[in-house]
Amino acid sequence: EPEVTQTPSHQVTQMGQEVILRCVPISNHLYFYWYRQILGQKVEFLVSFYNNEISEKSEIFDDQFSVERPDGSNFTLKIRSTKLEDSAMYFCASSPGTSGYEQYFGPGTRLTVT
Amino acid sequence: GDSVTQMEGPVTLSEEAFLTINCTYTATGYPSLFWYVQYPGEGLQLLLKATKADDKGSNKGFEATYRKETTSFHLEKGSVQVSDSAVYFCALSERGGGADGLTFGKGTHLIIQP
């Protein structure tokens, strides 16, 4: 069964460094998403992406964040200058874009900023 | 804004017990409602969904009915198994469209004892 994959599973970085989290959505899906979950808190929506542009973004998704689909298979989240409070689990998801728009999630990347 | 409230865990039950995990929501309009499950070390998996009032979603013995009058979407299962031990997340999509990010509850940790 097709699934969303994410790499790396765990990323450790120093404050102020740039990180890129990578995702391979399910083939033929049209919508892509990033979410984050700070330890002990809710899963929070960051951004949705369709047709090579951002569709919606939350207040969390400020100028330090960017997303890109550099080729036909990868979907990336870049954090330009990481802060301690960016430490979280980051989930990628994709949706076929058909009726119901259910979202399928990857296993997550745990980002630790030191 | 939209919000989802679900019962705090952990919820501990014996095998074959009846399960209810409460979920209520606040949203404008007519959201789509979802239950996701996260097994240890894995990503979020869609368990079931309902897109309009009085719809019943069901999967793997789990059921939830979209109750507009009580703004609820409680998850139930008649006889739980040890393998059902996981974290369960209630979520909504305000407009049900592809660009829409999901709003999640905090999750309920379910522990089933043999």
Q: How far is B13 from chain A (nearest CA, A)?
A: 22
**Residue A100 confidence (pLDDT):** 60
Model pLDDT for residues A49-103, shown as the tens digit of each residue:
999 999 999 999 999 999 999 888 899 999 999 999 999 999 999 999 876 678 9
Q: For chain B, list residues whose CB is within 8 angstroms of any CB belonging to chain A.
A: 32, 34, 36, 41-46, 49, 51, 89, 91, 93, 96-107
Secondary structure class of B82 (helix, strand, coil): helix
CA distance linking residue A10 with residue A91, whole number of Å: 12
Model pLDDT for residues A54-63, shown as the tens digit of each residue:
999 999 999 9
**Residue A37 confidence (pLDDT):** 93
Whether the per-residue pLDDT at B11 is higher than 90: the answer is: yes
**Residue B42 confidence (pLDDT):** 82
Q: Are B77 and B58 in contact (CB under 8 A)?
A: no
Query: What is the average pLDDT score of chain A?
Result: 93
**Residue B8 confidence (pLDDT):** 80
Which residue of B30, B37, B44, B48 to mutate against A (max A Cβ within 10 Å)? B44
**Residue B76 confidence (pLDDT):** 98
Give the residue among B36, B24, B17, B31 at the shortest CA–CA distance from B111. B17
Phi-psi category of A24—alpha, beta or left, where left has phi over 0 and alpha has psi -120 to 50? beta
Decide the pairing of beta strands B19-21 and B75-77: antiparallel
Identify the H or E element spanning A5.
Answer: strand A5-7
The confidence band for B97, taking pLDDT boundaries of 50, 70 and 90, is: confident
Q: What is the mean pLDDT of residues B52-61?
A: 95
DSSP collapsed to 3 states, A14-82: CCCCCEEEEEECCCCCCEEEEEEECCCCCEEEEEEEECCEEEEECCCCCCCEEEECCCCCCEEEEECCC
Amino acid code (one letter) for A43: V
Residues of A in contact with B105 (CB under 8 A): 42
